[in-house]
Amino acid sequence: MSELSCHRAVERLLARLERSGLMGRLELSDEDIADTIWLALQMGVVKTTTEEKRHNRQQQISQVIIEDGEISTEPTSTSNVDSIINIYSQESRTQEESESQTSTKGLPFQAPAAAALQNKLLISRALRPLMRKVPSQIRTILDAEATVTRIAEHNIWLPVTKPEPERWLNLELVVEESRSSFIWTETIDELQKLLQNHGAFRTVRAWSLSSTDNDHLQLTRRRKGGQKSHYQHSYRELIHSNGRGLILLVSDCVSSIWQQGKIHQWLHEWSNKVPTAIMQLFPERLWQSSELGLGDKLLFSAFKPGGPNSDLVLPSLWEELKRKQALKLPVVTLEALSLGNWAKVVAGRGNTPHPRIRLRFWNL
């Protein structure tokens, strides 16, 4: 609507208010009229029902003609009315009927979607072996018993402190971003949130692993929804020299970095210094269709908590395979049983063997 037409519409409104007497009776000011026009624009045009529209059309057909001071009516026949009504297409009639139907059955509401990670409680229970405490290397607390003993035996009124217990592991959650990763975005987001709120880890840092067009690996911080920052990091930043790190690589193992062996150097260095595992998003029956099908399945165990993969206890068969360049990597799934066995191995419970995959790799 142009400015001139808007101005004329306002003038017509003011004229009608003057003729009806509402202007003087309600003592409407300019601000009141402006508010009324704004409210009318927000409410929109009231849509009439189909019956009202038909009634209006019939009234238009029966016109009142005033000629020579006499009033006479000229109603049309019923057949004429029907013929005029039926000239509208079936599509417009259906549209009118749909507009006339108001939402009287209920109100729309937003229902939460089903959780992508169905077994959150079971996963939380499976990770309990990792909920151990170790003495802090920085923070201290008061040792009340030792302080009292010192005062009683040596009459030295000085506090005795001890390292504060803190959570054991720092988790590095590495998520591979590939062409198929959009399928798992919600699942990985819920997994990341579960691990951050679980309480088993001292810190949880999420990373995005991607590759450029020339298959150059990139490591950036990961945000919710798979978004990643622009600042690149070195893969060696994930290695904790104090023996309290844990690396979990989430992937489906089908991208080019697996097929061409680009990731093997990172995995080799990680697993020799930090306990490292692959979380395969596919169920075990589909592992053969990924690069994990190139490996051999063995049973491993561990007696040292938080030890790197090189410290894993291997069967005698490994001595024969050791001559070939190979990589020892635990492979877990989102199933609670798999995560529970892996957590026990990381915690150093040697009587709990866990199936693992030996990966061949080349061009180190």
Rg of the Cα atoms in the chain: 38
Environment class of residue 90 by beta-carbon count within 10 Å: exposed (0-12), middle (13-18) or buried (19+)?
exposed
Q: Is the dihedral of CA 342, 348, 349, 352 positive or negative?
A: positive
The pLDDT tens digits along the chain (364 residues) read: 566 777 788 888 888 888 887 777 777 788 878 877 877 776 665 555 555 556 555 555 454 444 444 444 444 444 444 444 455 455 555 555 555 554 556 667 677 777 888 889 999 999 999 998 888 888 999 999 999 999 999 999 999 999 998 998 999 999 998 888 888 889 999 999 999 999 899 999 999 999 887 778 999 998 766 676 778 999 999 999 888 999 999 999 888 888 888 898 899 999 999 999 999 998 888 888 888 887 777 777 788 888 898 888 776 655 555 545 677 888 999 999 989 989 998 988 766 666 555 554 443 3
Tell me the C-alpha distance between 309 and 67, whole Å: 106
Is the whole model's pTM more than 0.75, yes or no?
no
Written in H, E and C, the secondary structure of 21-45 is CHHHHCCCCHHHHHHHHHHHHHHCC
- pLDDT at residue 20, as a whole number: 82
Q: Are 361 and 325 in contact (CB under 8 A)?
A: yes
- pLDDT at residue 74, as a whole number: 47
Angle between helix 30-43 and 3-20 (nearest 10): 110
